[in-house]
Structure 1
């Protein structure tokens, strides 16, 4: 049996509760990860932020553009409306980038212990529709993180 401890990443990239979403998105992009735990000033995990959380924030702050074919008279005012909608989108994205991670993070984080098997982790991820699980010890301290990719990597290594 391959345990979570055998497959998890021990060096966990974390976000701070007061990081702006713009900073959090930059960290996720630079580190090529799709989410990260959020920690408080004492380095205790208080939540998790994913790309999906950021995408939902951007959807909330961006108006829907109604793209319909204009009538000939609409063509005159279309550039003015498009500029106004562009300005509204830009303002929404700027406002969204200033939101703090603590405002959009998932607070009830699904975790797993290091002693569990990777099949337990896979089942938990599938049933709860998550892509990563912070790994916590018996004291509740985060000791790692396991992702779907880690599970697949562990299976590949075990079959080599």
Structure 2
């Protein structure tokens, strides 16, 4: 079950303020921090924003409270800069790392056809698209396996609609990788369809795509050897194992 998003929302009055800039930088850096550190920061961020937004404060008292909020955020930022790696890669746009050639299926397709595409292209999932190539769900290889077990049907007799997920999370090609990574983390998914302003599918971003993007650039960064090794390992795991192998023949009826 996904964890609810508890991040406090900043008010329009904070847009462009020093505090909002500090908070934005901290959110980006904390992507690679521990879950406990992220949880503690969420609590602190909520308190800082409460101080900054408080209408009960007046004059010098309110100004002093605002100064305290900014000062605490500065101290926390300096602490994170010392102990958390720079996440410059994650500020890159999604379109720099996403794949643009995306294989899809429709709700009316059979699971046999979807499984064949996954086998031939070495894929773990397919976006399920409605009219206009707009994604409405995701279908994974695990969904197909569970449908075969639960429905007790041949895959050629079962539809994609009977097995596909009933929720979908997407991102924009102009979103930062940090935003897409946070959606994956909070919703516990490994792949995100990338859609344009009209909701049309324009790409797909997976954890493997992010790992490859980081690994290709890690040799030019100041990341630690352990961080570079981790990116290299994840990128290698996610590499396609083969290009195209014909699927096994279907069982005789």
TM-score of the superposition, structure 1-length normalised?
0.74
Q: CA deviation at 1:46?
A: 2.2
Partner of 2:58: none
**Aligned equivalents of 2:144, 2:118: Cα separation in 1:** 11
1:52 equivalent in alignment to 2:145: no
2:133 and 2:201 in contact (8 A); partners too:
no
Cα distance, 1:56 vs structure 2: 1.7
Identify the structure with the greater helix proportion: 2
Mapped to 2, the partners of 1:117 and 1:152 lie a distance apart of: 15
Q: Distance in 1 between matches of 2:108 and 2:202?
A: 22
CA offset at residue 17 of structure 1?
Answer: 1.9
Are the equivalent residues in 1 in contact too, given 2:98–2:209 (CA < 8 A)?
yes
User: What displacement does 1:93 show?
Assistant: 4.3
- Give unpaired runs (5+ residues) of structure 2: 1-90, 220-253
**Distance in 1 between the 2:158 and 2:177 partners?**
35
Structure 2 equivalent of residue 3 of structure 1: 93
Q: Cα gap change, 1:100/1:93 in structure 2, threshold over 3 Å: closer, same or farther?
A: closer
- For residues 44 and 120 of structure 1, the distance between their equivalents in structure 2, rounded to whole angstroms, comes to 21
Query: Which deviates further from its counterpart, 120-129 or 19-28?
Result: 120-129
- Aligned pairs for 1:32-47 within 5 A: 32-47=122-137
- In the TM superposition, 1:57-136 aligns within 5 A as 57-61=147-151, 92-94=152-154, 96-136=155-195
Q: Higher RCO, 1 or 2 (CA under 8 Å, sep at least 6)?
A: 1
Of 118, 139, 142, the match for 2:201: 142
Kindly report the root-mean-square deviation, in angstroms, between the aligned alpha carbons of the 2 structures: 1.6
Deviation digits for residues 91-143 of structure 1, max 9, x if unmatched? x342x441111222123210011111222222211221111100011221111
Structure whose residues are more often strand by fraction:
1
Runs of 4+ in 1 over 6 A off after TM superposition: none
Unpaired segments ≥5 residues, structure 1: 62-91
TM-score (norm 2): 0.48
In the alignment, the residues of structure 2 paired with residue 54 and residue 126 of structure 1 have an alpha-carbon distance, to the nearest angstrom, of 24
Aligned residues: 129
Give the conservation status (yes or no) of the 8 Å contact 2:132–2:200.
no
Distance 2:184 2:211 in 1: 13
In the TM superposition, residue 2 of structure 1 has moved relative to its aligned partner by 1.7
